[in-house]
Amino acid sequence: MSIPQKTREYRLPKVDGFHNLTLTEAPLPKLKSTEVLLKVHAVSLQYRDLIVAKGTYPLGQKENPVPGSDMAGEIIAIGEDVKGWKVGERVSPNFAVDHVFGDPTAEIKATGLGAPIDGVLTEYKIVPAHSLVRIPEHLSYEEASTLPCAALTAYNALLGGNPVLKGGDFVLVQGTGGVSIFGLQIAVASGATVIATSSSDKKLETAKKLGAKYVINYKKTPNWEEEVLKITNGRGVDHVLEVGGPGTILKSVEAVRYAGNVAVIGFVAGQADTSQLPLLVLGKAINMRGVLIGSRQQFEEMNRLIEAVKLKPVVDKVFNFEHARDAYEYQDSQQHVGKVVIKVSKD
Ligand SMILES: NC(=O)c1ccc[n+]([C@@H]2O[C@H](COP(=O)([O-])OP(=O)(O)OC[C@H]3O[C@@H](n4cnc5c(N)ncnc54)[C@H](OP(=O)(O)O)[C@@H]3O)[C@@H](O)[C@H]2O)c1
């Protein structure tokens, strides 16, 4: 393949909605000796992409970014100092390209694709070689593009902290979006019993097919934390993947067992009064841990699990590159279960 000199890429010159997504053409910079050039095959969307486009992402974004954090593609050129990679290998860069191992730092957080630095909604992308992981062999590019943010966040929440998930633990996942569906699948793959909530009975049927043993419709059962306590004979769950934020967090601490674990991940459920939170947390000796995606090392460990159990990501719908805005609208409509993907390359 001849090395391209240009790339078609989306940018967000303004950030008050998806209508700002603008497809442009830009020259590719010269490859540094420690970098690789990737042909982007597929990109998956996150809730984060929606709020970056709306200008409400709370963790900071650059002016006029190329959006998108999660991609799968192939290496088409390699810097002269890069070792251990070949042209043609199927790879993804880690979400924060400099988060190689260990804890995040302010400097690492500032390397998150698609907000503080330009992202991956582009035909070709240059990334540092130290950000790369190999794609599990049984996954297509569309499937593999769902792993860097949603899957790694769920993996880190359940298996990246201390204490980690043990077989036999109860895990609560909220809603059927990207992080929660991966949380369900990773928990089941690790021998846990999963309780899933959703606004929709139809989506809960899908959650059951994926291995959730108990399901609760949080619209029909607004006091779902009481239902969780009933299911667990009053004990509560061992782990909660808390994606709702202020709107759900008090219920999550009611639903978790004494000294259980609440991974603080998201804020899809809107605002609410959380002034009781410190008292509830200390009163049950709960472990709360903020999760910021994960490191490349955790991504590699997660891929070992994905390969071992042949875990298949749930891809709800695939859109063409030219229809990226439709993909954003669909993700925003919350009709999806799992992941929404944009197919970037035609082959
Ligand atoms: N900290 C991190 O590292 C990290 C990483 C990834 C994502 N996040 C955050 O995690 C959250 C989820 O991200 P995502 O990309 O997985 O989102 P997503 O795929 O867009 O998921 C949205 C889903 O959340 C569910 N939901 C909405 N309101 C809810 C409520 N009140 N209670 C329970 N579930 C509700 C809905 O599912 P149902 O229709 O089934 O109810 C909805 O479809 C976001 O806030 C995101 O910013 C954080």
**Domain that residue 228 falls in:** 152-290
* Residue 308 included in any domain: no
In this structure, the answer to whether residues 255 and 338 fall within a common structural domain is no
Determine the residue of 57, 94, 99, 179 to mutate for testing ligand 1's pocket, defined as the one with the most ligand atoms within 8 A of the Cβ atom: 179
CATH code at position 321: 3.90.180.10
Instruction: Copy the structure tokens of residue 54.
Output: 């709306």
Name all residues whose Cβ lies below 6 A of ligand 1. 46-48, 149-150, 153, 174-179, 197-200, 203, 218, 243-244, 247-248, 265-269, 291-293, 331, 334
Do 246 and 176 reside in the same domain of the chain? yes
Residue 1 has pLDDT above 80, yes or no: no
What are the residue ranges of helices labelled H in the chain?
47-54, 106-109, 141-144, 152-159, 178-189, 201-209, 224-231, 249-255, 277-283, 296-308, 324-333
Q: Is the pLDDT score of 137 beyond 80?
A: yes
Q: Is position 302 within any domain?
A: no
* Reported confidence tier of residue 162, pLDDT bands at 50, 70, 90: confident
In a domain, 304, yes or no: no
192 falls within a domain:
yes
Number of domains in the chain: 2
Pair 65, 134 in one domain: yes
What gap in Å lies between CA 183 and CA 281, rounded to an integer? 23
Same domain, 58 and 93: yes
Domain annotation covers residue 297: no
Dihedral over alpha carbons 33, 34, 38, 43 (to 10 degrees): -150
Residue 301 lies in a domain: no
Q: Are residues 240 and 127 part of one domain?
A: no
Q: Extract the tokens encoding 153.
A: 């966040």
pLDDT at 2: 82
Task: Answer whether residue 245 is part of any domain.
Answer: yes
The Cα 123–Cα 136 span in angstroms is 22
Residues 238 and 209 in one domain: yes
Mean pLDDT of 296-309: 98
Question: Are 45 and 164 contained in the same domain?
Answer: no
Summarised one tens digit per residue, pLDDT across range 81-99 is 999 999 999 999 999 999 9
Residues 304, 133 contacting (CB under 8 angstroms):
no
Indicate whether 266 pLDDT > 80: yes
- With 0-12 / 13-18 / 19 or more C-beta atoms within 10 angstroms meaning exposed / middle / buried, residue 47 is buried
Pocket test for ligand 1, best of 44, 45, 46 (most atoms within 8 A of CB): 46
* 80 C-alpha to ligand 1 centroid (Å): 41
Instruction: With beta carbons less than 8 A apart as the criterion, state whether 66 and 114 touch.
Output: yes
Arithmetic mean of pLDDT, 115-120: 98
48 and 76 assigned to the same domain: yes
Task: Tell me: do 79 and 185 sit in the same domain.
Answer: no
Regarding whether 87 and 160 lie in a shared domain, the answer is no
